[in-house]
Amino acid sequence: MSSNPAAGDTMSPIPDDVMSESEARMRKGKSQRDATKEKIKNKDYRNLDTPARRRARVARMMGDPVAAPEAARLTGPSLESMGAADDVSGFLLERIINGENFLGVRFLALGQRAARAIARIDIRTPDGRSGSGTGSLVSSRLLLTNNHVLQSADWARRSSVVFDFEDDLENKPRPTVAFQLDPDAFFFTNKNFDFTLVAVKTTALHTGVSLSDYGFNPLDDTQGKVTIGEPINIIQHPSGLLKQVVLQENRLLDIPVDPPGWLHYESDTMPGSSGAPLFNNRWEMVGLHHSGWPKRDEQGRILTVNNELWSREMGELAIKWLGNEGARVSQILEIVKAEQAAMDAARKALVTELLNPPKTGSVVAPTGGNTPIVVSGPAPESVSTDRKTEVVSQSIESTGVTITLPLHITVSVGGSPVTSTPVTTSPDRAATEPDGNLTIPTEEAPDTERADALSELAEASTKPYYDVAADQVKRTDYYRDINLGGNPDVLYSSLSTLVGSTHHTKLSYKPSRHLYPWVDLQPDRKLRSLYTGDIYEPKQLIEESFIAEARFEALLESALLADDAEESLALLEALPLYNCEHTVPRNWFKGGPLFSTAEGDLHHLFTCDGKCNNFRGNVPFFDFVDFDESVLQGCGRKEENKFEPAHGKGAVSRAVMYFLLRYPRLIDDKPAELQAARLETLFQWHEAEDVSDHERHRNAAIQEKQGNRNPLIDFPDLARRINFKLGLGSS
């Protein structure tokens, strides 16, 4: 299953009070951190930390059956007499801190296992706000994150946790798996140290994947896990993006005694990193990241990375962060222990498990499988495969319904093997077994639509891509009754009426049938991702999309059968199941009277890399001044409620302006959708990129399919002469 970040983040990842309190503590310890940096610079490792903490660190290394041999390798025969002698402990710590810059490959394997249990949290609050954070499983049922990520049980009840939101070895998105949180089973939060522990349901939404497949990162309250000067490694979902890791160029700078319970360090984090676990080089969890310390000018105003005055609309990525703060694991466990006695038996048992992780000798203690579930399923007809059919039955929690479906399918299109995301097939072809199980057969979507799509694709290679003369005749006839010299209000009204009244055929949202075979083809008869320019083979994408569409229908049916249907549908609604981008996100016009018409309107649908579809979510377009310095994921740049694509800006702007004409007041003038002030960005993108032959081809092809045209493609000079503000609704 795929899942995108929480739609249109509308909440600040780090609340002002959390940041200000953290900053006050970090300011108090600035002299200590500066001294630490100087000692590291001068390689004065023996005096970086107190003798007590140095001895504790050495004792822990000696007592670890895995770490001790490594310590022996680092120190040689002196390990036998190490004891608590400062000269020898200093020698060992010098190696730990400065390192030989050689790490056994076990470091990578353990890091991968640690990352398995870390997930993105999609936050949804009772008042409708959304955002994202990071969390880690720390026992078989409990997830650890910040209090400001999940402030209450009500927040947790509406939020979800998404695993495997990352790229695989081939730089392709892994199929993600979403779980509902279970605050009724366990919820414990502490605002002072900014942490929340919450139970997670044991079975994934809609797929039946077990939570035990992800293992967990156990918490240990003993001392000696890290000393000042050592690296702090962080695995996180910065800004809700794909899972990322920060290694080595980051140091623990202080373990303040006043106030106790905190760690101060330098490392790269971003909004959305809140709740990320902090690890030492043995992948033992030592703390919980929660906030940073921003650089300020003499007047106390926050500065950007370019030493300019920061304003909130720039987003927190623009801030120059001087350091970071996290809560110590030992402090978190001490607080939980103190409250355990007052808990009921069920909650007390979960805490007991948390406090007594299995002693496996590994850093991470998985309780189930350690790799994603991948089984094979048959390919659709006319697609070669030599693999056997294997399916797995997965129960949907609390529904009493079992769906049997393939989890992974390998197909061969045009002679090349292609691996798709997990799929199911059309519920129209499903059979109900005598025992009540719903079995989804491993077949494709209805043959007629697929055959028609492939037939249209085959025909595409035999006809002109764009007939300029023929289209000129159609364009002249289309606008014959329109006065293109009218004032801005009249021009908006007349063109809006025209594109609405000529929209004769209302197509369903089915890009595999209506978009990919002809409309969105490039002059070379390939498909290209809107935001990246990546090339796709049309036949391959059509085949995979028919499978994905059927899968969505099966998941939708299972969601409707669920006891918690409303919550299941809300989470399912966020899943981007096709490589197709609505330049105007569906969430903006959800519930409107023209929803189904707008959803399938080809003028604002484009082929799009699935990762970029996830990356943008429902965020409005924005133009960043320093965009070229911060392009992320190959798709563009995203900060909170702003997104600038790396490619396709001209086509995007013209599609959105068309939408404003075709669907008056379906988009609201508000930050989460399209503010009137941001119309200028659309105009600038439109003027910076000329209309392409691809857009002219699309315009002509769409008129053939649904009857209307995009005036901004036919008459680019009209853009600033139309009062598009009339197309925005009030918030």
Question: Which residue segments constitute the domains of the chain, with CATH numbers given?
Answer: 16-104+221-331 (2.40.10.10), 374-444+530-578 (no CATH), 448-529+579-729 (no CATH)
Strand 233-236, strand 277-279: pairing: antiparallel
Task: Say how far apart CA 120 and CA 134 lie, in whole Å.
Answer: 5
Mean of the pLDDT values across residues 229-258? 78
Answer with the residue of higher pLDDT: 294 or 409: 294
What does the pLDDT read at residue 425? 31
In this structure, the number of other CB atoms found within 10 A of the CB of residue 402 comes to 18
Entry pTM: 0.54
Check pLDDT > 70 for residue 416.
no
Check pLDDT > 90 for residue 366.
no
Lowest mean pLDDT among 338-347, 457-466, 638-647: 638-647
Check pLDDT > 90 for residue 652.
yes
Query: Contact at 8 Å (CB) between 182 and 198?
Result: yes
Give every CB contact of residue 374 below 8 A, 6+ residues apart in sequence.
407, 408
Query: Contact at 8 Å (CB) between 583 and 589?
Result: no
6-20, 22-36, 244-258, 527-541: which has the highest mean pLDDT? 527-541
What does the pLDDT read at residue 718? 96
Mean of the pLDDT values across residues 228-251? 78
What does the pLDDT read at residue 630? 46
Check pLDDT > 80 for residue 580.
yes
Answer with the residue of higher pLDDT: 199 or 39: 199
In order, the DSSP letters of 373-401 are: -----PPPTTSB-------EEEEPTTT--
Report the alpha-carbon angle 330-331-337, nearest 5: 85
Lowest mean pLDDT among 37-51, 467-481, 645-659: 37-51
What does the pLDDT read at residue 316? 61
- Full strand arrangement of the beta sheet holding 277-279: 244-246, 233-236, 277-279, 285-294, 321-328, 262-266, 251-254
Q: How confident is the model at residue 96 (pLDDT cuts 50, 70, 90)?
A: low
C-alpha distances out from residue 731 to 230, 366, 673, Å:
51, 48, 9
Query: Contact at 8 Å (CB) between 574 and 122?
Result: yes
DSSP-derived secondary structure letter, 730: P
Which residue, among 676, 635, 659, 667, has the nearest Cα to 712 in the 3D structure? 659
Check pLDDT > 60 for residue 728.
yes
**What own/partner pairs with CB < 8 Å and gap ≥ 24 does 698-705 have?**
698/519, 698/520, 698/602, 698/603, 699/471, 700/466, 700/467, 700/470, 700/471, 700/474, 701/518, 701/519, 702/519, 702/602, 702/603, 703/474, 703/478, 705/505, 705/507, 705/514, 705/519, 705/602
CA dihedral 417, 113, 407, 172 (to 10 degrees): -40
* Backbone CA torsion sign across 475, 476, 477, 480: positive
Residue-level length of the chain: 731
Lowest mean pLDDT among 5-9, 145-149, 668-672: 5-9
In this structure, the number of other CB atoms found within 10 A of the CB of residue 148 comes to 26
Q: How confident is the model at residue 438 (pLDDT cuts 50, 70, 90)?
A: very low
Task: Say how far apart CA 159 and CA 199 lie, in whole Å.
Answer: 12
In order, the DSSP letters of 60-129 are: HHHH-TTHHHHHHHHHGGGGGG-TT-HHHHHHHHHHHHH--S---THHHHHHHHHHHTEEEEEEE-TTS-
Mean of the pLDDT values across residues 154-168? 90
Q: Please state the separation of Cα 344 from the chain's center in Å.
A: 36
pLDDT digits 0-9 by tens, 257-272: 777 888 888 754 454 4
Lowest mean pLDDT among 107-116, 247-256, 318-327: 247-256
Task: Say how far apart CA 332 and CA 570 lie, in whole Å.
Answer: 33
What does the pLDDT read at residue 403? 31
Q: How confident is the model at residue 614 (pLDDT cuts 50, 70, 90)?
A: confident
Task: Say how far apart CA 438 and CA 74 lie, in whole Å.
Answer: 59
Rounded mean pLDDT of the chain? 76
Lowest mean pLDDT among 111-115, 151-155, 640-644: 640-644
Q: Please state the separation of Cα 121 from the chain's center in Å.
A: 9
Check pLDDT > 50 for residue 242.
yes
Task: Say how far apart CA 504 and CA 511 lie, in whole Å.
Answer: 18
Lowest mean pLDDT among 156-170, 383-397, 443-457: 383-397
Check pLDDT > 70 for residue 224.
yes
Joined together, the tokens standing for residue 302 give 């926050």
Answer with the residue of higher pLDDT: 629 or 512: 512
- Tell me the β-bridge partners of 120: 134, 162
Check pLDDT > 60 for residue 377.
no
Check pLDDT > 60 for residue 312.
yes
Check pLDDT > 70 for residue 146.
yes
Mean of the pLDDT values across residues 278-295? 86
Joined together, the tokens standing for residue 593 give 């009277």
Check pLDDT > 50 for residue 386.
no
Check pLDDT > 60 for residue 405.
no
In this structure, the number of other CB atoms found within 10 A of the CB of residue 485 comes to 8
Sole residue written with tokens 């479906």: 405
In this structure, the number of other CB atoms found within 10 A of the CB of residue 605 comes to 27
Burial 310-329 (b: 16+ CB within 10 A, else e): beeebbbbbbbbbbbbbbbb
- Tell me the β-bridge partners of 153: none
Q: Please state the separation of Cα 312 from the chain's center in Å.
A: 22
Q: How confident is the model at residue 310 (pLDDT cuts 50, 70, 90)?
A: confident
Check pLDDT > 50 for residue 588.
yes
3-state secondary structure 508-559: CCCHHHHCCCCCCCCCCCCEECCCCCCEECHHHHHHHHHHHHHHHHHHHHHH
Calculate what percentage of the chain has a pLDDT beyond 70.
71
Task: Say how far apart CA 645 and CA 521 lie, in whole Å.
Answer: 20
**R_g over Cα of the chain:** 28
Check pLDDT > 90 for residue 549.
no
Q: Under the phi-then-psi rule, with left for phi > 0, alpha for psi from -120 to 50, and beta for the rest, what region is 134?
A: beta
Check pLDDT > 50 for residue 100.
no
Answer with the residue of higher pLDDT: 552 or 509: 509
